[in-house]
A and B are shown apart, each in its own frame.
Chain A
Amino acid sequence: MSRPVAALALAAALASPVATAQERSLPLDVLRSGLAFSGGDVRAMQADDFANPGFLWVERGARLWAEAASGRSCASCHAAAAASMRGVAARYPAFDRASGAVVDLEARINDCRVRHQGVPALARESDDLLALTAYVATQSRGVPLAVDVDGPARASFERGRALYYVRHGQMNLSCAQCHELNWGKRLYAETLSQGQGNAYPAYRLEWQSLGSLQRRIRACFYGIRAEMPRPGAAELTDLELFLAWRAQGLPVEAPGVRR
């Protein structure tokens, strides 16, 4: 991971005092979902909700939503997800007053289980947590991402931004060197995307499974030969928040399909 001092110095150099909703790291007219960098076969798979294997998890999530855990299901409080969860995923990660920290959608679902259902949290990347997250996220399909970074989430956002622009690992690369300075160019057989997270949780053909945005970010850390933050680490949530802010305006595509 980065050294905190270097990260803070860089953050101070790069960060303007306030990141308002208007300020952007990529202008709106060049903002592209990962779908724009995908081949025709991947786009066709995502366009067809039956061919998209992510819906195996969505359907499982729908069953879990209605299934009572300790006498109370998600539906007991939130009723039909189509109405109550519409737009929710587009606002996450978000500051959670009860835990005093920024949480992503997976952590929010687990908080709900522990606090309101009295059942244990689900493991990161477990099929059940992916299923519930995909089910909740898919209710926001088409809703443009719009996270709040000006309130109490500010500190997390700034940490995420600093991490994004600092060089990591043996390859000595920052996220920005691929995804801001060189997107659209070829890296071996791949086209570098802008690294947008609006399709997650997504079915990656490489994984043969649905996976979270955290898993995708960890894969990038691995790719640049940096130490991977553990699943659920605060740095990953900070990065997720920065990525969501950076992607503001792109529609939620979950569950997307990627290579």
Chain B
Amino acid sequence: MADSRVSVPKEARRGEPFEVRISIRHPMETGYRTDESGNHVPRNVIRRFACRYNGAPVLAVRVSSGIAANPYFRFFVTARESGALEFEWVDDAGVRGEARADVAVV
């Protein structure tokens, strides 16, 4: 279930910060648990999360097992030009996720 939700304003004023929110469906399995049969549940957390704005990196996060399931990131980006925000993440199992949102700068 590699789902995510992204929220950015449709329009942002040039030179001003706008709010970016993304929430990702992920179990963030800590690696400290056992299942009902007593077997170790291997760690599977999102390891890296990054956001690019028209190709340029604006946020890079090293995520750890201390983050709850379904992580939610909220941050601000300064509006420069109309274009796309591209999000990318990868977990311990090597599963990659991506999302994209467009913003118009006026």
- Chain A positions near chain B (C-beta within 8 angstroms): 50-51, 53, 55-56, 59-60, 127, 205, 208-209
Contacts and interface: CB of A to CB of B under 8 A. Distances in A.
Contacts of A55: 5
Contact of A208 (B3, B5, B68): B68
A60 B69 contact: no
Contacts of A60: 1, 3, 25
A56 B70 contact: yes
Interface string B11-33: 00000000001010101100000
B1 A208 contact: no
B13 to A, nearest CB: 21
20 contacts: A50-B7, A50-B21, A50-B23, A51-B72, A53-B25, A53-B72, A55-B5, A56-B5, A56-B23, A56-B25, A56-B70, A59-B5, A60-B1, A60-B3, A127-B1, A205-B68, A208-B68, A208-B70, A209-B69, A209-B70
B29 to A, nearest CB: 10
A256 B7 CA distance: 20
Given A55-B5, A60-B3, A208 B27 contact: yes
Interface size class of B (residues with CB under 8 A): 10 to 19
A234 B28 CA distance: 34
Interface of B: 1, 3-5, 7, 21, 23, 25, 27-28, 68-70, 72
A209 B5 CA distance: 16
A53 B28 CA distance: 14
B5 A50 contact: yes
Contacts of A56: 3-5, 23, 25, 70
Provide the main secondary structure of the chain A interface. Answer: mixed
A53 B1 contact: no
Contacts of B69: 208-209
Contacts of B68: 205, 208
A188 B23 CA distance: 33
A64 B25 CA distance: 16
A247 B5 CA distance: 32
Contacts of B5: 50, 55-56, 59
Given A51-B72, A53-B70, A208-B68, A59 B3 contact: yes
Given A59-B5, A127-B1, A208-B70, A53 B23 contact: yes
A49 B99 CA distance: 19
A48 B72 CA distance: 13
A186 B90 CA distance: 43
Given A53-B23, A55-B5, A56-B5, 4 more contacts: A51-B72, A56-B70, A59-B3, A127-B1
A60 B68 CA distance: 20
B71 to A, nearest CB: 10
A208 B28 contact: yes
Nearest to A205: B68
A60 B3 CA distance: 8
Nearest to A60: B3
Contacts of A208: 27-28, 68-70
A214 B3 CA distance: 25
